[in-house]
Amino acid sequence: MNQLTPIDRDSLWGGAPLSDTEFREIAALLHQEARITLPPQKVTLVRSRLSRRLREKGLKTFGDYIALIRRDADERRQMIDLLTTNHTHFFREQHHFNHLRNEMMPLWRDRKSHEPVRIWSSASSSGEEVYTIAMTLLGQDVREAQWARGANVQLFATDISTEMVAAVRRAEYPKSHHEQIPQPWRKLWTKDTRDGFAIAAEARNLVTASQLNLFDRWPWRHKFEAIFCRNVMIYFNEKAKAELEMRLVAQLAPGGALYMGHSERMVSKAKEFMIPCGHTMYRKPEDRA
């Protein structure tokens, strides 16, 4: 059987065709705005995710859409929302949360400083990661949760997608995701709703969610005791990875932990300032500012 050409596929699927030149223009704009690299094999993903947007805007061609995103900053942000992948689930890569609970939490509970414990979920998607962090810190019974309230724990969730930030703030999830949360965390820190479940107020109240492009200026003067930057480096080229890694290390407090995705490793000079402490986990030495 002969393979379908792009034109053949377009004629079968309906809708506007996406030429190689138009794909490269969209990829260039995405890289310009978000430093995300789109390889040629993502052409089908781009066409499928943006075709509906063309219809919503009453546009006939991808050329028309490119002209629109070049002049309209709001539409560029909408394009980023549509093209950024948002696959996640609760307690994903469990070993990170085991390390957070068993190695980092005792340090925070015993320290004499009255500074808040600050943790950043830097590519939070729809919130499963940051609420897993919250549940991990609150623990497995109500008495254990008192430390998190008393220590003034602050969790920050950011994502480039405004739609995902809104999902974090809603903190509501389909019933099919409930089994991802182990008991007794599920019993303590979630509440059933008509269509699924919501994160309990005790966990929600620890979280502040906001939109952030990781390559823009970061708004914080303070440093973090832990940063989760997982499964996002894979979308950047080597230069962008190196830049982001150096900024993340600089934003960590001495002794802080950096958690990366399962297929990610520190690749830049930044790793000289960190100590590996497990699979895709790093600690900043106490004597490093």
The parts of the chain modelled with pLDDT lower than 70 are: 1-15, 85-86, 150-151, 288-289
172 lies in the same domain as 59: no
50 lies in the same domain as 30: yes
What CATH number did the domain enclosing 47 receive?
1.10.155.10
- Model pLDDT, residue 25: 96
32 lies in the same domain as 125: no
List for the chain the helix, strand, coil content (%; round to 5).
Answer: 50, 15, 35
What CATH number did the domain enclosing 190 receive?
3.40.50.150
Summarize pLDDT for 248-289 with one digit per residue, the tens: 999 999 999 999 998 888 988 999 999 999 999 999 998 766
Q: How many domains does the chain have?
A: 2
Distances from the Cα of 5 to the Cα of 20, 53, 61, 95, 108, angstroms: 12, 23, 19, 44, 58
Prior bond to 184 cis, omega within 30? yes
Instruction: Give the closest residue to 274 by CA, choosing from 108, 5, 168, 286.
Output: 286
Amino acid at 276: P
181 lies in the same domain as 201: yes
- Model pLDDT, residue 141: 85
232 lies in the same domain as 170: yes
pTM score of the predicted model: 0.87
Summarize pLDDT for 7-29 with one digit per residue, the tens: 334 433 456 899 999 999 999 99
20 lies in the same domain as 154: no
Q: Is residue 1 part of a domain?
A: no
Domain housing 33: 6-83
Instruction: Give the closest residue to 22 by CA, choosing from 35, 4, 38, 3.
Output: 38
Select from 54, 83, 112 the last residue of a domain: 83
Residue numbers annotated as active site: 49, 159
Q: CA-CA distance, 211 to 217, in Å (whole number)?
A: 12
- Model pLDDT, residue 22: 95
Pairing, β 252-260 against β 224-229 = parallel
3-state secondary structure of 262: coil
49 lies in the same domain as 175: no
12 lies in the same domain as 101: no
104 lies in the same domain as 22: no
